[in-house]
Amino acid sequence: MAAFLNAFAGESIFISNATPPSPSLFKITTKHPKARVNVRCDSAASSDVVIQKAPNASSLSALQQLKTSAADRYTKEKSSIMVIGLSIHSTPVEIREKLAIPEAEWPRAIKELCALNHIEEAAVLCTCNRMEIYVVALSQHRGVKEVTEWMSKTGGIPVSEISDHRFLLYNSDATRHIFQVSAGLESLVLGEGQILAQVKQVAKVSQGVAGFGRNISGLFKHAIMVGKRVRTETRISEGAVSVSSAAVELALMKLPLSAHTTARVLLIGAGKMGKLVIKHLVSKGCTKIVVVNRSIQKVDALREDFKDIEIIYKPVDDMMTCAGEADVIFTSTSSETPLFLKENVMGLPHVGSDVGGTRLFIDISVPRNVGACVNDVENTRAYNVDDLKEVVAANIDDRLRKAMEAQTIIDEELKVFEAWRDSLETVPTIRKLRAYAERIRTSDLEKCLQKLGDTANNNTKKAVEVLSRGIVNKLLHGPLQHLRYDGTDDRTLDETLENMHALNRMFDLETDISLLEEKIRAKVEQQK
């Protein structure tokens, strides 16, 4: 508030206290013929503030001063695209699993995020390797603060702990990041294809949700296109493995070579990740697997897909019995509570020396299905997604070369997306200019028809109206062409924005600060 009032130094300020109904109205009125702002905001105590400009021909207008005040970030600066993220590269699974949001809850999360004071749009990307929230924020600092506090409340983790592990990216850096994620460059396994499907799922599930707005939906659609292009034009996916295949590789690394095809395998969960586990087990020579699942339907579907392997179905009630009969146990379920803890496995029979004497739990779920305490049980070892780094360390030079090829494509697509987003700045001016011309056209048309009176028949009236529309459209064609920018011609963005400001001045299209009032009022309405 102080920064706002300081912008009006040298003017007379009259402040009267009042207690308006809730939500309170903080009213700022600039007594200038072309500037008036009414702003609603949450405040414990409210005031009616009347700012009256003292007569001074040499001073800036109240409107100009308003634009250089603290409110300027709402009226002139473009809202920021931001990502607040926690990934496998910087955050242990213990924290990621608490903040994980199930797919069914993504729409609710978007609505809650957009109800925050400084968040306009939002999306949630949550996988076993990352938890990332993408937002369009009116203020970077306040947006980060509000989203972090929301994450803290949702996951039950202190803000300080989230802040220690999170990464923050803004605008072009945030855009580049989601492009890299979609292309598989940020994955634990470079180029893995599952992440592209997950980005597509975000767009599919979020479509139609009010907070998944034009900027964020455009960002994700472009990221999907980038992911496809990178995989088409580079060889980054060749030889790449998914989390599921890395899990199988890890199990084989821990088993004696002689047990690769003879170890007794149990899979808990028959979803997408479980299906990929079976696919890679089959490729390694596995011929028999027990699958525990809530229903037999998905297991029957797996039998149809993998007819060369024996798949035995067991219900969830038999899970512990099956675990006691298995040497390697893969877990891939959406359970939000652990399926195996120390007390569950300490009574299981020991495995034979032919498989190394150690029962292996390979857990690729987030939240985890196997508690870390299982490692306290003798002859038992539990691995989670964070342990897969051991598998992907090989062939790093080849992977980096492919990543460099992908970055060239991302650089090109980043420019295209930024041009598209920057072009959105001119949309309000285009609308205002059209409305301005239409008001003049309809007003003069009405005067013309009144003068013609009854002497004009319907055909004449229609011809006059068509003529008026044609004249207006031809006059507007040139200015509107110079307001449209998509990065495909020689005109620069600076030139386009300069044209926008010139038209605003010439036609007096910025005679009010309606954008500020509209954005703040919308946020208040959301919270009612």
- Residues 351, 484 within the same domain: no
Predicted pLDDT at 459: 87
- Residues 300, 388 within the same domain: yes
Q: Is 512 helix (H, G, I), strand (E, B) or coil?
A: coil
CA distance 64 to 339: 63
Look up residue 54 and give its two tokens.
Answer: 């003292």
Nearest to 499 by CA among 491, 487, 488: 491
pLDDT digits (tens, 9 = 90+) for 45-61: 333 333 344 444 444 44
Task: Classify residue 401: in a domain, yes or no.
Answer: no
Q: Is 77 helix (H, G, I), strand (E, B) or coil?
A: coil
Q: Tell whether the model's pLDDT for residue 140 goes beyond 60.
A: yes
Q: What is the CATH number of the domain that holds 321?
A: 3.40.50.720
Task: Classify residue 193: in a domain, yes or no.
Answer: yes
Look up tokens 């596995």; give the residue.
Answer: 286
Q: Which range scores top for mean pLDDT: 14-28, 109-123, 401-415? A: 109-123
Whole-Å CA distances, 127 to 85, 202, 272, 334, 419:
12, 11, 13, 11, 30
Task: Classify residue 204: in a domain, yes or no.
Answer: yes
Rg (CA), the chain: 31
Q: Please say whether the beta carbons of 71 and 516 come within 8 A.
A: yes
Signed CA dihedral, 445, 447, 451, 457: sign only: positive
CA distance 150 to 146: 6
- Residues 225, 257 within the same domain: no
How open is the CA angle 21-25-30, to the nearest 5 degrees?
145
In this prediction, residue 420 has a pLDDT band, given cuts at 50, 70 and 90, of: confident
- Residues 121, 196 within the same domain: yes
Query: Higher-confidence residue: 239 or 32?
Result: 239
Task: Classify residue 16: in a domain, yes or no.
Answer: no
Domain count, the chain: 3
Predicted pLDDT at 207: 93
Torsion, Cα 206 209 213 219, to 10 degrees, reads: 0
Predicted pLDDT at 314: 94
- Residues 358, 502 within the same domain: no
Nearest to 311 by CA among 339, 279, 358, 272: 279
- Boundary (domain end) residue, out of 234, 252, 274: 234
Look up residue 90 and give its two tokens.
Answer: 């910087």
Biggest distance spanned by C-alpha atoms of the chain: 107
In this prediction, residue 204 has a pLDDT band, given cuts at 50, 70 and 90, of: very high
Look up tokens 């968040």; give the residue.
Answer: 119
Q: DSSP secondary-structure letter at 340? A: B
pTM over 0.75: no
Task: Classify residue 142: in a domain, yes or no.
Answer: yes
Q: What is the CATH number of the domain that holds 144?
A: 3.30.460.30
CA distance 51 to 461: 49
In this prediction, residue 249 has a pLDDT band, given cuts at 50, 70 and 90, of: confident
- Residues 215, 266 within the same domain: no
Predicted pLDDT at 39: 38
Q: Tell whether the model's pLDDT for residue 119 goes beyond 80.
A: yes
CA distance 152 to 95: 11
CA distance 518 to 456: 44
How much is the average pLDDT of 313-319? 94
Residues taking part in catalysis: 128
- Residues 247, 230 within the same domain: no
- Residues 431, 486 within the same domain: yes
- Residues 303, 446 within the same domain: no
Q: DSSP secondary-structure letter at 259? A: G
Query: Higher-confidence residue: 497 or 11?
Result: 497
Look at 57-61, 128-132, 280-284 and tell me which has the smallest mean pLDDT: 57-61
Q: Which range scores top for mean pLDDT: 305-309, 434-438, 497-501? A: 305-309
Task: Classify residue 66: in a domain, yes or no.
Answer: no
Predicted pLDDT at 489: 55
- Boundary (domain end) residue, out of 372, 393, 414: 393
- Boundary (domain end) residue, out of 201, 216, 234: 234
Task: Classify residue 41: in a domain, yes or no.
Answer: no
Q: Tell whether the model's pLDDT for residue 113 goes beyond 90.
A: yes
Whole-Å CA distances, 402 to 230, 388, 391:
10, 21, 19
Q: Tell whether the model's pLDDT for residue 23 goes beyond 50.
A: no
How much is the average pLDDT of 146-169? 95
Nearest to 245 by CA among 282, 271, 289, 270: 282
Q: Tell whether the model's pLDDT for residue 64 goes beyond 90.
A: no
Whole-Å CA distances, 415 to 176, 179, 418, 486:
10, 12, 5, 10
CA distance 445 to 467: 10
Q: Please say whether the beta carbons of 215 and 79 come within 8 A.
A: yes
Buried b (16+ CB within 10 A) or exposed e, 202-234: bbebbeebebbbebbbbbbebbbebbebbbeeb
% of the chain residues with pLDDT over 90: 47
Q: In the beta sheet, which residues pair with residue 370?
A: 340
How much is the average pLDDT of 271-294? 91
Whole-Å CA distances, 282 to 248, 271, 306, 310:
10, 17, 8, 10
- Residues 227, 325 within the same domain: no
Residue 313 CB-half CA count within 13 A:
13
- Residues 377, 491 within the same domain: no
pLDDT digits (tens, 9 = 90+) for 69-95: 434 444 445 689 999 999 988 899 889
**Chain center to CA of 473:** 39
Signed CA dihedral, 172, 177, 183, 185: sign only: positive
Q: Please say whether the beta carbons of 106 and 204 come within 8 A.
A: no
Mean residue pLDDT of the chain comes to: 79
Domain that holds residue 366: 243-393
Predicted pLDDT at 486: 52
Predicted pLDDT at 394: 56
CA distance 528 to 525: 5
Predicted pLDDT at 180: 95
Task: Classify residue 185: in a domain, yes or no.
Answer: yes
How much is the average pLDDT of 332-337? 90
Q: Which range scores top for mean pLDDT: 185-199, 286-300, 510-524? A: 286-300
Predicted pLDDT at 427: 64
Query: Higher-confidence residue: 483 or 520?
Result: 483
- Residues 229, 252 within the same domain: no
In this prediction, residue 308 has a pLDDT band, given cuts at 50, 70 and 90, of: confident
The secondary structure of 57-68, three-state, reads: CCCCCHHHHHHC
pLDDT digits (tens, 9 = 90+) for 352-405: 999 999 999 999 998 999 999 999 999 999 999 888 877 766 556 667 777 888
